[in-house]
Chain A
Amino acid sequence: MIQDMQPETIVGACKDVTLLLYNELPRRVLYTEIETPYPDGKLIVSTTDPDGVITHVNRAFVEMSGYTEEELIGAPHSILRHPDMPPAAFKDLWDTVSRGEKWQGFVKNLRKDGGYYWVKATVIPNVRKGKVVGYTSVRRKPSRTKVEECIKLYPTLF
């Protein structure tokens, strides 16, 4: 399940927008200009079912997203979708993994407190006995130059 973001959990001055998840499910999103730096040396790991619903997260995921593990498990992965991310990026992600291939890209993620963090993400299909049973994403610390490029590029992709 996914809920609107609540003003009382937001830290700092925020903007307010409604995103359409899955192209049809409205979610009110509150977001600030506060960046949380990626933790050095760590990987952020999550697994979803074939529909993109979260089934597993590691501790670094919980710490960076600001949600509890209970809030994350069973939620669509778009719980982290930031309004600055162009839909084309996620279309490319899903098109790529649906073909059975690996996807890699730079993603700006939204925290529960309205802040954001940049990651370099790799997503792969989990194939068991020839069937796709889910997807796994592993994120690492991105280079600042790559992030700067995305900050310029992404607004042009809407």
Chain B
Amino acid sequence: MTQDVAFPTRKDEAWRYSDTDALAGMDLGAFDRWQDIEVPAGETVRETLVISDENSDPDGVELRRLRVKIGKGARFELFGVIAGAQLGRVEVVLTLAEGAHFEMGGITVGGRSTVREFVTRVAHEEPNATSNQIVRSVHWGKGTGNFLGRIDVVRDAQKTDAAQSFKGLLLEKGASVNAVPQLEIFADDVKCEHGASVGQMDENARFYMAARGLSPEASRRLLVQAFIGDALVELDDEAEQERLLRIALDKLDKHL
């Protein structure tokens, strides 16, 4: 395989909202390190992934790249929280065989001037495969959360059902989120849905909660938990759900 050994720049579509300055001085080899996962036909594999202050340098770059092949009728689930590093980035390149399913729940949280992003490229290469990607981003300070999701549906991949949902919650004025859906569809009998929205905390709800005795921190935590919880509803393991939620919420409590 030939390698592109130059640093990416913001001109690259997949790095458009990223922090490419943070890449300076990085080991170029990192751009060619992939975790390969093959899900055999009919099986289910779940991967959970955390980038946090515990496992990454707050001022550095943390890049995780997954290359996934999902076999016929198989299911791959990815649940991830990006809550650490100056640039925390999860890339997923994935192909679905006939009748396969990809389920993703991603959460980004962060302040300062950090960038935390999910970048996915999902190829529906055979008929009847489905994919569902949910990303929830909560940012403050000058923090940024991104979801760049490309979906390719080849000509033969009829009855594809692909969905993407992105919501951003901005807790302070300087924060931002970006959603970049990109659909390349060459089959005609296909369902592709994507939704993106951005908002702020519901101050009516916060006063209501305060009137019942919850401190500003407690009401914020509850509302953020409800917001990011969307990304984990398909995670069928309560303990794991709890763990991922706690990582995201603790980040919030510690730094805001």
Q: Do A and B bind each other?
A: no
